[in-house]
Structure 1
Amino acid sequence: MIAGFQTYCRTLTDLNVEEVERICTFAIPRSLQKGEHLLQQGQICRHKTFIIKGLLRSYGTAADGAEYILQFSPENNWILDPESYHLHTATNFNISAIERADVLQWNKEDFDRLLKEIPTLERYSQQLASRNNYNSRQRLFTTLSSTPEEKYEDFVRNNPALLSRLPLHMIAAYLGMSLKTLTRIRHAQLRR
């Protein structure tokens, strides 16, 4: 598992070999089965998690039991509940494996120490947070301003590799529409 993270660091960060090795010494490998939770509503998020293999989702459940997916996280992505992690509060969300997954985790105390010791990691972490903030704002704007057809087209354009890995009901939950609406849109596109 560590080798996958080292490759990620070499190709996507400015971290040097010694810094990557230092970060890896605190990594905790973990495997998740399909459907297994990494974090459940009511718990405190105590780890930053990097996905080596598999696909995870972050989601909330409404009072009526409906699930609303906030984020899909495939390989070479990080996932956590930032508010719970930084504020040490119980989360309102869940993170679970859509597929069997191999991940690396760092507990908050260790990761905070690494951020202080390795300025390059601190900068990269800030860049990731900024990019996630931008992507979240773009997603929110699309959700509020687009038709169901436009939402689906945006999803297909920005996530082509996920289409074959996700059941339709999860795509619908991510897009904030019913499965019936999503099915209608897909059939209409196939007829064109």
Structure 2
Amino acid sequence: MFEVFAKYLRNQIQLNDEELEMIQKVCVTKRLRKNQYLLQEGDVWRFNAFIINGCLRTYSINDKLQEHIINFAIENWWIGDRESLLNGTPSRFNIDAIEDSEVLLISKENFKMLMKSIPQFQELVNLIIERSFAASQDRINNSISLNAEEKYTRFLEKQPQIAIRVPQHMVASYLGITPETLSRIRKQSLKK
């Protein structure tokens, strides 16, 4: 499994064999069955998680027991609760596997050590954070400025690989619309 992560890293940054070995030594593999939690609300998140294969989601549940999906993540993506990781506070989110999945976990301490020891790794982390911030801004803007049909169309354009892998009720939750609204939009788009 580390080979998948090594390939990802080599595509992003230049690493020698010694640096790759240093990274490999701190990676822990975790297999998740479909619906198994990686993180549960109330637990403190202590890792950086890279998805080797599978599909996961980050979500919260409100007082009415409604799910609100924050994001999906698939192969070669990172997932976790950054706020809980940085502050050491209990997470407000759940992360679970939508499919059988495998992730590599790097503890917060080891991740910091890698960033100090390998400058290119630090540069990669900075790039990931920048892209994540830009994606979050785009998601917030879409959420407050687009209608339901536009949100769905944008989702299909930007995340087609996720759209075919997750159940439609989860897509609806992610978009902030009801499953019935999504069903209506999908039917209308088929007629066009």
C-alpha separation between the residues in 1 aligned to 2:166 and 2:112? 34
Q: Give the equivalent residue in structure 1 for 2:83.
A: 83
Which deviations, in whole Å up to 9, do the C-alpha atoms of 1:54-89 show, x marking residues without a partner? 000011111111001111000001111000001100
Q: Give the equivalent residue in structure 1 for 2:66.
A: 66
Q: Give the equivalent residue in structure 1 for 2:56.
A: 56
Offset, 1:24 = 1.1
Contact 2:168 2:179 in 1 (8 A): yes
Question: 1:86-165 to 2 correspondence within 5 Å?
Answer: 86-165=86-165
C-alpha separation between the residues in 1 aligned to 2:76 and 2:16? 18
The alignment partner of 1:72 has SS state of: strand
User: What TM-score comes out, normalization by structure 2 length?
Assistant: 0.97
The alignment partner of 1:185 has SS state of: helix
The alignment partner of 1:96 has SS state of: strand
The alignment partner of 2:26 has SS state of: coil
Which deviations, in whole Å up to 9, do the C-alpha atoms of 1:17-55 show, x marking residues without a partner? 332221111000110000000001000001110000100
Pair 1:37-2:32 in alignment:
no
Number of residue pairs aligned between Structure 1 and Structure 2? 192
Contact 2:34 2:100 in 1 (8 A): yes
The alignment partner of 2:41 has SS state of: coil
C-alpha separation between the residues in 2 aligned to 1:16 and 1:43? 36
User: What TM-score comes out, normalization by structure 1 length?
Assistant: 0.97
Offset, 1:138 = 0.4
Uncovered stretches (5+) of structure 1, i.e. residues with no partner: none
The alignment partner of 1:134 has SS state of: helix
Pair 1:187-2:183 in alignment:
no
C-alpha separation between the residues in 1 aligned to 2:134 and 2:177? 23
Taking only the aligned residue pairs, the percentage that are identical comes to 39
Q: Give the equivalent residue in structure 2 for 1:26.
A: 26
Uncovered stretches (5+) of structure 2, i.e. residues with no partner: none
C-alpha separation between the residues in 1 aligned to 2:158 and 2:21? 33
C-alpha separation between the residues in 1 aligned to 2:67 and 2:125? 29
Letter of the structure 2 residue corresponding to residue 89 of structure 1: T
Q: Give the equivalent residue in structure 2 for 1:7.
A: 7
Pair 1:178-2:178 in alignment:
yes
C-alpha separation between the residues in 2 aligned to 1:11 and 1:17? 15
